[in-house]
Amino acid sequence: MGAPVGPAPSGLAPKPLDQLPRLARDTTEEDPWPVSVLSQKYHDAVARWPGAWVEGQIVEINTRRTGSAYLTLRDNFEDISINVMGFRAFATQAREFRQGDRVVVHGRPDLWIKQTRLSFMADRIKRVGTGDLKEQIDQLRRKLKGEGLFDAENKVPLPEFPRRIGLICAPKARAEGDVITNARLRWPTIEFSVVHAHVQGPQCPPEVVEAIQKLDADPAVDVIIVARGGGSFEDLLGFSDESVVRATAACVTPIVSAIGHEDDWTLIDLAADLRASTPTDAAKRVVPDLVEQEGIIQEARMRINARIQNMVEGETRLIEGYANRPSLTKPQTMLDKPQRLVDESLVRLDIALRRIVDDASLTVEKLQSSLTALSPQSTLDRGYAVVQTLDGKVVVSPQQVQADQDLTLTVKEGRIETKVVSGQ
């Protein structure tokens, strides 16, 4: 009797190996092999295959765990890949390699019975030159950078409150749901214009270019998102195609690239106006957060109300201050100071006028005294007389008169008519 094949489901007992068909052609519908037997048969068959050297380009590499390395090799000409794994010495050698390197690897095919999965168990790896795809992308990057397609001054700022988003993604892709769901969670009124396109393979570049141009020509679209979930290096190659990069750089509508995961980089990321680490991140960065905007509005309203309240209180205090001033409570007090000024001015004016009059009177008196002292009348008052001829000439010498000539004598109290008797 043979040993059981392995643990059986509850209530069932596994058949002994010697009761199972020996060859695959001996199995029937009534007498099949268990999965474990088939997997073991495959493993035994693969173990007899010879080792080989294979050449390809590293599109994925993981050497984070000490003592093990996992690679994905892509054929240099065909879209065919193979998983490679190795341990110990191979893992140490693999740490010197990077994504995009072209290598030759020696190993043997191996089948993991647990999942009946075929892989290539490697023991040696050698570099045969820089990876063709990586070198081509680097050359294209340098070329387009030299043309200014990646310059910061060519970037278009994203609208703060977009109404419609143009979304480019694969049909029924998870990225589409991630973008739409997260965008509407943040901004429920946002609308979408979705254009489906292949996001890998030879159809990817022309379809993505056509989608970009279609959405760019739509005036209702405020911003465009090109979204794709994660993938291998070769899966994302379409977004490093020259036509895609040029279409992105020429797009007038703001465009956001959301290709792969945070560590994935393609040339479209350099030409886009904004690079998002994931489709979800793109949704969060393109639309505002409704809760956050409501908070901003509420805070602004509070500041406005506080400022208005402060202004009203300030004006109220100012009015109360005016109302309590004596000039308003007792308006007559406003005339007190001008009245005092008028009264003081009248006093000063009276004093000044009195001084002027006194000075003028004194001057007149002095002049009067001088005139009186010099007046001919004062001479007459002392007893003197003025002798004049009838024609008014003053007689100062006897020779001026003749006998029997009429003369006039002016004395203090009047005039006397006289006649000359004789003169000497």
Q: Which residue has the tokens 């979408």?
A: 192
pLDDT at 9: 54
Domains of the chain: 24-128 (2.40.50.140), 133-288 (3.40.50.261), 332-393 (no CATH)
With bands split at pLDDT 50, 70 and 90, how would you rate the model's confidence at 17?
confident
DSSP-assigned letters across all residues of 62-90:
E--STTEEEEEEE-SSSS-EEEEEEETHH
With bands split at pLDDT 50, 70 and 90, how would you rate the model's confidence at 22?
confident
Phi and psi at residue 128, to the nearest 5°: -120, 5
DSSP-assigned letters across all residues of 376-391:
HHHHHHTT--EEEETT
CA 251, CA 271: separation in Å to the nearest integer?
Answer: 10
Q: Above 50 in pLDDT, residue 232?
A: yes
Q: Above 50 in pLDDT, residue 382?
A: yes
Which among 69, 120, 74 has a CA at the least distance from the CA of 90? 69
> CA 3 → CA 21, 114, 281, 333, distances in Å?
15, 19, 56, 125
pLDDT at 136: 80
pLDDT at 129: 57
Q: What is the mean pLDDT of residues 92-106?
A: 88
Minimum mean pLDDT range among 155-159, 213-217, 397-401: 397-401
Average per-residue pLDDT for the chain: 87
Model pLDDT for residues 119-139, shown as the tens digit of each residue: 899 999 988 754 567 778 888
With bands split at pLDDT 50, 70 and 90, how would you rate the model's confidence at 240?
very high
Backbone region of residue 51 per phi and psi (left: phi > 0; alpha: psi in -120 to 50; beta: other values): beta
With bands split at pLDDT 50, 70 and 90, how would you rate the model's confidence at 415?
confident
Q: What is the mean pLDDT of residues 378-402?
A: 82
Q: Which residue has the tokens 């059986």?
A: 8
With bands split at pLDDT 50, 70 and 90, how would you rate the model's confidence at 3?
very low
Q: What is the mean pLDDT of residues 311-324?
A: 87
Chain-centre distance of CA 53, in angstroms? 57
